[in-house]
Structure formats: C-alpha cells, structure tokens
Amino acid sequence: MANLVASEYMPFEAIKQVDEKGEEFWLARDLQKALQYSKWENFSKVIDKAILACNNSGFDIDEHFPGVRKTIEMAKTAKRKVADYKLTRYACYLIVQNGDPRKEIISFGQTYFAIQTRRQELADAFNELDENNKRLVVRGNIKQWNQLLATAAHNAGVISNEEFAIFQNAGYAGLYGGLTVADIHKRKGLKKSEKILDFMESNELIANLFRISQTEEKLKIDQISEKTKANEAHYKIAQKIRFAMKDIGTTLPENLPTPVKSIQVIEREEIRRLKDSVEKLMLDE
C-alpha cells in the first residue's frame, strides 16, 4: 500500500499529531472515539492490556504510554482536566490488537498501525545502514519500479526502444535541468558500458526512485494512452521534484558527487564479506 489515506484509515490520520521534535503521536481519548468506544472506563481496560503487552515485549512503558492531562469541555462552559496518554505508533498498535475484534474499525486500525509500524521499522533499519548499503537497497528498489514504469509506459503507447529512450530522457531532463541520459553519462565521466544509476549516491538514487514511482502512478491514475502525453507527464513530475529540491535547499542531482565504486563492485564486496562471515561462524562451531 503506497498511500495510507484510504477512507477506512482517515479516522486515524485525522487524529494523528506531531510534537515539537517532529515525532508522531496519538492521544488515547482521541483514539477512544476513533475506535468507537463510548466509555473511557471500557477503553482504559484495553489500554491496560496493551501496557502489559508492551512490558512483556521488553519495551519501555513510559516511552510508549506517557501519561498526560487533557482538558475537556463540560456543561455551561466549565472545563475539567482528565487523565490521558500520549501514544506512540507502537502503543496504538498494541491497543488495537487488544481491542474488541467484533468492531470493524478495530480491524482497520490493526491494518493501519501494523503497516505504519512496519514502515517505521524499515526506515529505522535503512538509516542505520552505511552509504554503500543504502545505495544497494535503493538501487534494488529502482530496478523493481523501473519494471512497473516500463509496463505503465507501454500501456500509455510507448512501444519501441526508441520511444522508450525518448520517454526516459524526458524524465531525466525534468529532474536534471534539461540534461539527457547522454549528458548525465558524460558529466559523470562514465564508460560507454556503465549505467548512470549504478554511479549515484543514495540521495541521487532516492530522487530518481521518487521520479519513477510517481510517474508510474500518474500514468495509471490518469489512464494516459498517448506517448506524447506520457513523455509530458514524466517531464513535469520530474521537474516538480527538482523544484521541491530547490525550495528545500538540497543539492540538485546533477551537482551531487559521483561515487568511485559502482553498484556491481559494492555487491561483489558485500557478497564476499557475507561469505567470509559464514565461514568464520562455521569454524567457531
């Protein structure tokens, strides 16, 4: 699921908040309403089970279920402070796992928070990788998305190899300020047999992955069926990504340094390292 804004997930998106550190959180009393629990007393029992599950899993309860106070409106403009929790994504996941399975919204919540939690785990794992392994991961994703883009482009009327080359150049031109594949290849100082995607740092690869994935989505959503319009869509999407990079103030792709090692060299080195590790483990036995 590339986009978690389906109607059944909107109740959870709508109550999501972001603190001063930029971290997402949900207030328990907001989640209570989203999960259609009319009484706090009943919902607090679900929270208790989730806290127990958190503790049994070895996680810090105070980190995932910190207590806070919330002001609620009473009759005749009166206000009262009540107990609440500032929940992490993982805490919400545990709550919906312990919720009433007869409620349809609980099922949606389980899917939503499971996917969100998994996405964060993958992001955390990616951030822990060194630059070479980040390149390997993103390059692998690009290979898969390029297959999807090729299919979408074919369905949009991009049939021959020459037409696909024009389509590809449109995307690169939009992202690289008018540079074509040949221009980028020359700028990076590559040999004729070398591919530009194999000589990109992770940031440059990520920009291209976004270009590829969003173009594939656009071609499908708009049901584009004419090659000229497909080329235009590829160029405009890539150009918008470039404009966004300018606005943010990040380095434009054509100005990013070219890595010395190709993806193929890194792959061979990583495979050799893994083989060496396995042999050492066997010797330890």
- Which tokens go with 81? 């402070």
Q: What is the pLDDT of residue 121?
A: 77
Query: What is the CB-side half-sphere exposure of residue 94 using CA atoms within 13 A?
Result: 24
28 against 278, higher pLDDT: 28
Domain map of the chain by residue range? 7-127, 131-284
Dihedral Cα 208, 212, 218, 223, nearest 10 deg: 160
Which DSSP letter does residue 65 get? Answer: S
How far is Cα 31 from Cα 214, in angstroms, rounded to an integer? Answer: 32
Tell whether the model's pLDDT for residue 204 goes beyond 60: yes
| CA-to-CA separations, 24 to 17, 50, 88, 91, in angstroms, rounded | 6, 19, 7, 12
How far is Cα 220 from Cα 155, in angstroms, rounded to an integer? Answer: 9
Question: Per-residue pLDDT tens for 157-203?
Answer: 999 999 999 999 999 999 999 999 999 999 999 999 999 999 999 99
Q: Note the pTM of the prediction, 2 decimals.
A: 0.64
Q: What is the pLDDT of residue 4?
A: 40
Dihedral Cα 181, 187, 189, 191, nearest 10 deg: 10
How far is Cα 101 from Cα 249, in angstroms, rounded to an integer? Answer: 47
Question: Per-residue pLDDT tens for 66-92?
Answer: 999 877 665 566 677 888 999 999 999
Specify which residues 72 forms β-bridges with: 80
